[in-house]
Amino acid sequence: MTKRLNSKVLKSLIYMLITGFLFFNIYKHTYQTILQNDYTEAFDRSVQQYNLSIKDFFSNIESATEMLSKNELIQYVSDDPEKYYDSTLDLLKNFYQVYDSTAFAYFTPEKKIWGSQKLISWPDTSETLSNTSWEAQQRPWYINAIRSNPNFAWTEPYVDTTTNKHVITVSKTVIDKENEFKGVLAIDIYLDDLSEQIHALKKYNEGSVFMILKMDNQNYFIIDNLDNDISKTLFTNELIDQIYQNESDALYFENKSGHYYISYATNPITGWKAIGVIDPYKFTRATTRIIINLLVGIVTLISISIFSVLYIKKQIGSTIQTLSGSILATEDKPISQIPKMDLLKLETEGQTYEKTTSHINLLFHIEAEKENIRTHAHDLSALDLSKIKAINHSLSKLADYKNALNLSLKSHEIQVISMRHFLLELKEQINPLRQNANTLAFEAELNRLDELIKDIMPDN
């Protein structure tokens, strides 16, 4: 009876051992495949979000430049520099301070100011450039802005003539309300400053991120991960050519330095390639810990079974029935499941590049309402009751915006001066209509217009 019992126990242990290791290998292969797919998808999303963050950064610069180009100080400074020059310089200084990624903010008018000054800039380099052979019309940012009119133009990286540093420039033509070309507005961004700020967007748990531009058949690193040597060994011409075949994709790449998973996307504004690089082994590192815990659990379970059998054998003298019951209880005991561990996930960085610019946005809102008024008052012969009401509606908004201005800010003080000139011109433009007012309603709206102007600028 004892021999039969030992044979049955031995067979059960062998069966448990084989079943355990089969389950272990199936689970390892299946789980590693699923986890690797999850990680590659998460890593791809991280690279895409990183690329979108950079796109949003450039879009924000474009929007601010667009509003700056519509400011009447910029549009008319070359016509009356005595009146507008200092205010325009303060406006560019304010832009420079609000958008701290700006290296230079400058405007090149179509005609030189005071006969020799070629541009207005902050930081102010106008005096230095006036005494050199430098001409804006020969610079890529000026040429590209003319070609791209009315759209924005972005240059490739180049060396700035005044600082000898690498910069990238966004530029746009300036057109006044009479649709006349007045010059080119441009914003420089230092690439090293941009690199430091964008590094904050790539806080992955694992992997590296790069921004690469293929320029003049050479690979130019806009943003490089300075903490490793991947860029020196991985980015061969063969790999760069392969990446430039598609707008976005992912691939596995192997060379003498190692095996890599590469995910990339194209920045829609600059054409730069955002590239994420990671060792595929790191995708399954979490799996390894789980599998080790699983293996420990199986070994522990088998060890408990063996010790149970040995204990039962020591108790064989009691009764065969008691022994059989003990063996059945041991064999039927359910295997405790090992809790699943949470998968490690790659951290992703959202749109973190925003900064508060409410006081300059207020200036942009004011310029938008002034533009609405100019549109409605453009043709006096077609100025009817509905357009006068629309003008009064915009004036009401201007009153609210004016009350929200903070005169301790230089840019807001300048805007008050600009509004005063604008309202005086509007009043002179509308006054002749009183002689042709043919209805009481029309005359009432004209009176309301006067009251609104007095409310906005009571000293006029």
- Domain limits, the chain: 70-194, 195-282, 358-456
The pLDDT value recorded for residue 338 is: 42
pLDDT in tens, 376-389: 888 777 778 888 88
Which range of 109-123, 188-202, 407-421 scores highest in mean pLDDT? It is: 109-123
The pLDDT value recorded for residue 350 is: 37
Q: Is 90 exceeded by the pLDDT of residue 171?
A: yes
More confident residue, 341 or 104: 104
Question: Is the CB of residue 190 less than 8 Å from the CB of residue 165?
Answer: yes
d(CA 177, CA 275): 43
Distances (CA, A) of 84 to 44, 161, 398, 423: 50, 27, 22, 17
pLDDT in tens, 414-426: 888 888 888 888 8
Residue 189 identity? I
Q: Band the pLDDT of 209: cuts 50, 70, 90.
A: confident
The pLDDT value recorded for residue 173 is: 96
d(CA 41, CA 246): 18
The pLDDT value recorded for residue 121 is: 93
Domains 70-194 and 195-282 share a fold: yes
- Closest-CA residue to 88 (of 182, 157, 7): 182
Q: Is 70 exceeded by the pLDDT of residue 198?
A: no
Distances (CA, A) of 164 to 61, 72, 156: 23, 32, 15
Whether domain 70-194 has CATH 3.30.390.10: no
User: By three-state DSSP, how is residue 147 classified?
Assistant: helix
Query: Among 6-20, 214-228, 344-358, 402-416, whose mean pLDDT is lowest?
Result: 344-358
Residue 276: its H or E element: strand 273-278
The pLDDT value recorded for residue 431 is: 82
Q: What is the DSSP string of 234-294?
A: T--HHHHHHHTTSSSEEEEEEETTEEEEEEEEE-TTT-PEEEEEE-GGGGGHHHHHHHHHH
Q: Band the pLDDT of 340: cuts 50, 70, 90.
A: very low
Helix axes 285-314, 320-332, angle to 10 degrees: 170
The pLDDT value recorded for residue 147 is: 95
Four-residue CA torsion sign, 104, 105, 109, 113: negative
The pLDDT value recorded for residue 232 is: 67
Q: CATH number of the domain at 195-282, please?
A: 3.30.450
How many CB atoms within 10 Å of residue 114?
10
Q: Band the pLDDT of 10: cuts 50, 70, 90.
A: low
The pLDDT value recorded for residue 324 is: 53
d(CA 78, CA 75): 8
% of the chain at pLDDT higher than 70? 72
Query: Is 11 exposed, middle or buried, given 0-12, 13-18 or 19+ CB atoms closer than 10 A?
Result: exposed
Q: Band the pLDDT of 76: cuts 50, 70, 90.
A: very high
The rounded radius of gyration (Å) of the Cα atoms in the chain is 36
How many CB atoms within 10 Å of residue 287?
21
d(CA 213, CA 5): 75
pLDDT in tens, 235-254: 888 888 889 899 999 988 88
Q: Which residues 6+ apart lie within 8 Å of 324 measured at CB?
A: 5
pLDDT in tens, 298-333: 677 767 766 776 666 666 655 555 545 544 554 554
d(CA 225, CA 275): 11
Q: Is 50 exceeded by the pLDDT of residue 131?
A: yes
The pLDDT value recorded for residue 29 is: 64
pLDDT in tens, 18-75: 776 676 666 656 656 676 777 788 888 888 888 888 888 889 899 999 999 999 999 9
Tokens 């006036």 correspond to what residue? Answer: 130
The pLDDT value recorded for residue 379 is: 76
